[in-house]
Structure 1
Amino acid sequence: MRFGARLALVVITLVATATACGAPHGSGSQSRKATDCGPYARYGKHAGTQVSVYGSNRDREADLFEETWADFARCTGIDVQYEGDGEFEARIQIRAEGGSAPDVAFFPQPGLLERFARAGKLKPASPALAALAKRGWSADWNSYATVDGTLYGTPLVANVKSFVWYSPTFFRDRGLSVPRTWSELMDVTEKVAASGVKPWCAGVESGEATGWPLTDWIEDVLLRQQGPGVYDQWVTHKIPFNDPRVVRAMDTVGSILKNDRYANGGYGPARSMASISYQEAGTPILSGDCAMHRQASFYAEQWPKGTRIGPDKDVFAFLLPGTDATSRPVLGGGVFAAAFSDRPEVRAFQEYLATADFARARMRKGPFVSANKGVDPAHAANPVDALSIRLLQDPRTQFRFDGSDQMPAAVGAGTFWKGAVDWIGGKGTQQVADSVERSWPSH
């Protein structure tokens, strides 16, 4: 949090504690409406305490988090200090090993969370937090933050990654239909290419995390070609990373993303995506310079201000199709809140984050997806978020968590990301797959 914002929060906390929770507030600067502290009474009073929070969310996403828990902070007296860092994956390890770990961290990779849990750095969930987790999420979701039978964190954010964003106007003007199978997807791709427009746009630059949009592509296609069983075996290394079925999925993705005829619309040759940030990667859809952009539900936050989302609006999304119209598993991801400290104010903050109340409050601020059972998709900020929540809550959905996020951090957030960038730059599929396989920890 910036110094000015941090100072403002301290001032607001002091004033609000005096006014919102019982003191007079009818004159001068205290004339604003008081905060209703009733919903936060269960978390107790922790005046003069501070909780440091560290995550990868920055800019507007960070602001929305801070706005969401502001009332909680005022009413409990906890000064919540959030720091967002685009180099989270690398720096959280440096900080934890150097003795300067935050009180709470927002982990986007279960594999990274597991690493710290096994090292004895993270604190097990309290009984109250575990009860909230069991009530709010499915066993599958809680398993991603469970290590050797012990729960260490709770889901904070969810997303659906198997979306293809497109312009409904572009499709309508060219007589294109939303594809229901992979064959139909390639037919649309070829028709757009034949019209002189590169059908796909992509960008994989993301600081220290550069490459993750490519690994998402590969995981999504493997899930569709081979099904959840083979996908699970690959993620857990029961089959090698360079299994022929994985190589086939990579080559399928390469037939699109390494093809200069199909990519990179609006930017240049296919390999240009290595230097295009993921945040700006889909914007050529709005100008008609590309037709499709495969990216997660959270990309809703990246469209330029004023962009309308919906089936008859500026942009919308469809699920990446599979081999047939009836079997389309869903790849997704999420962020998990886990603690390096075990103090009353830290536990109170964790418990608040684990409630449907927090998820609903965050949804009211803007685009946000949660897999919490208490969230109503009707209250989502846009139709894609609503679709995502319905998919996550549907017991028939074959949901699988992002593979690289579950792999050992050295692979999932290391050699796989880097290898994917080398691959898009021209290295052969087998060469890259073999290299990642050799990097897998032996134990």
Structure 2
Amino acid sequence: MSIKKSRAAAASVAAVSLALTLGACMPSDDDDTPTTGATGTATGEVKEGCEDYASYGDLSGKEVSVYTSIVEVEQVDQEESYDKFEECTGATINYEGSREFEAQLLVRVQSGNAPDIAYLPQPGLLKTIVEQYPDNIVPASPETEANVDEFFAESWKEYGTVGDTFYAAPLGANMKSFVWYSPSKFTEAGYEVPETWADMIEISDQIVADGGTPWCAGIESGDATGWPATDWIEDVVLRSAGPDVYDQWVSHEIPFNDPAIVEALGVAGDILKNPDYVNGGIGDVKSIASTAWTDAGLPILDGECWMHRAANFYQNNWPEGTTVAEDGDVFAFYLPAIEGDEKPVLGGGEFVAAFDDRPEVAAFQAFLASDTWANEKARVTEGGGWVTANNGVDIENLATEFDQLASSVLGDPASVIRFDASDLMPGEVGTGTFWSEMVNWIALDKSDKEVLDAIEASWPAS
């Protein structure tokens, strides 16, 4: 989920100058024709502040439609990050964010009404589109590919590639292996941030003994209801079974109901389906299924629950005035490993796919893969909650202490990073039965075996 959805280090922060060759290039100085360029000045003269945009050419009067699952608070920053591109090129970016993105995008593509650009939160969805609608999506432009080669780790390019063709450039990155808590309330109660999984369970038991409810959770998300629970399972698989088994699970080299996955679901259930542990400030276990993921962590502020597992982007959901800092109202700690010295990290992100090869579409796709956009997005995200795997971003442009933490985890040599499994699986599973069966697991108390057997049965034959 984009809202999900990191594997390469945003903490690697060399500022790199980008030279794109896309679009109408400025004529040479010996061309005396006084035409107007993308900067709104006579050709050869670059408007101050538009130097990084001059190579996109004059896109005046051109429009690019963008469809994405990034909505509400995050949408404001997204749209603002395009302002300079629009000012300097003359293009208009028409942004549409939707909570029904996953369900509606395929409908639009199938009906011939695809957007120019879509931000795909699942590489599995990209694969589905390429395989089912190959004539509706276009390969990434050479300029986009050059930016990805320069600013991203190879693994990111692989996630945007189907077969031998590169389609979709990475956009933002999500760090999912975090647990939100209140530093002040932990201090008052005498609890310490856990360094191991066993420590975390011990603290949970102590909170229960002290009369509290340690965990709160919510998995309601419109048409995407269930995805937060899949993140839980994926994080546990990485920790209980290890990255090699995780990779085999994602690629279906082992079945979805393999004993290793059964064990992982049980470990997650020891928290999420434990009536003593959940759902603090909200209700019983079943209330998790009907609680909006955006609201699920808020009881921490009132001391009604103590811990909430959620990604870095949950930072944007705390009410205005909440201090997100190590000594503030809320902060997050790394979801500990179950054993060993490695740091398993679950990540996600969005990928920019194009459905039209018009020059202005190619230009905008290339821009979004550049260090120019990454730094602009970091600057305008003043409230924090956004990180990227683009190594051209200046870490000083990242807004908050927590964003710095996310970057440090990404850059830790001990981190073993894997992309969100449901985002990599075939759409029938990753955004289908995996989501829906997690709802059944919580709301209907469906057994671990029945849930995993049902998901395995849905895996496409080829």
**TM-score by shorter chain over 0.5:** yes
Aligned-partner SS, 1:374: coil
Residue matched to 1:288? 303
Which of 424, 431, 435 matches 1:413?
Answer: 431
Displacement of 1:394: 4.3
- Is residue 162 from structure 1 mapped to residue 180 from structure 2 by the alignment? no
Tell whether the 8 Å contact from 2:178 to 2:311 is kept in structure 1 after alignment: yes
- Is residue 41 from structure 1 mapped to residue 54 from structure 2 by the alignment? yes
- Is residue 81 from structure 1 mapped to residue 99 from structure 2 by the alignment? no
Tell whether the 8 Å contact from 1:47 to 1:76 is kept in structure 2 after alignment: yes
Aligned-partner SS, 1:314: coil
AA of the residue aligned to 1:372: N
Which of 369, 393, 417 matches 1:399?
Answer: 417
AA of the residue aligned to 2:109: A
Segment drifting more, 384-393 vs 155-164: 384-393
Distance 2:209 2:53 in 1: 59
Residue matched to 2:451? 432
Displacement of 1:341: 0.5
**Residues 305-320 of structure 1 correspond to what in structure 2 (within 5 A)?**
305-320=320-335
Residue matched to 1:241? 256
Where structure 2 has 5 or more consecutive residues not aligned to the other structure, the ranges are: 1-35
Residue matched to 1:128? 143
TM-score when scaled to structure 1? 0.91
Displacement of 1:18: 11
Displacement of 1:396: 4.4
Residue matched to 1:275? 290
CA RMSD of aligned residues (A): 1.6
Distance 2:412 2:56 in 1: 31
AA of the residue aligned to 1:250: L
Distance 1:396 1:147 in 2: 29
AA of the residue aligned to 1:409: G
How many percent of aligned residue pairs carry the same amino acid?
Answer: 49
Where structure 1 has 5 or more consecutive residues not aligned to the other structure, the ranges are: 1-16, 24-33
Distance 2:446 2:196 in 1: 29
Residue matched to 1:30? none
Distance 1:420 1:269 in 2: 16
Label 1:19 to 1:432 Cα distance change in 2 as closer, same or farther (>3 A). Answer: closer
Relative CO higher for 1 or 2, CA cutoff 8 Å, sep ≥ 6?
2
Which of 365, 386, 399 matches 1:381?
Answer: 399
Tell whether the 8 Å contact from 2:38 to 2:58 is kept in structure 1 after alignment: no
Aligned-partner SS, 1:158: strand
Tell whether the 8 Å contact from 2:38 to 2:88 is kept in structure 1 after alignment: no
How many residues of Structure 1 are paired with residues of Structure 2 in the alignment? 417
Segment drifting more, 94-103 vs 191-200: 191-200
Tell whether the 8 Å contact from 1:21 to 1:35 is kept in structure 2 after alignment: no
- Is residue 62 from structure 1 mapped to residue 75 from structure 2 by the alignment? yes
Distance 2:248 2:217 in 1: 28
Distance 1:63 1:128 in 2: 27
Distance 1:62 1:104 in 2: 15
Residue matched to 1:390? 408
Distance 2:38 2:260 in 1: 63
Tell whether the 8 Å contact from 1:199 to 1:290 is kept in structure 2 after alignment: yes
Label 1:231 to 1:325 Cα distance change in 2 as closer, same or farther (>3 A). Answer: closer
Distance 1:324 1:248 in 2: 15
TM-score when scaled to structure 2? 0.88
Tell whether the 8 Å contact from 1:181 to 1:325 is kept in structure 2 after alignment: no
1:230-262 CA-to-partner distances (Å, cap 9, x unmatched) read 000001100000001101111111111111110
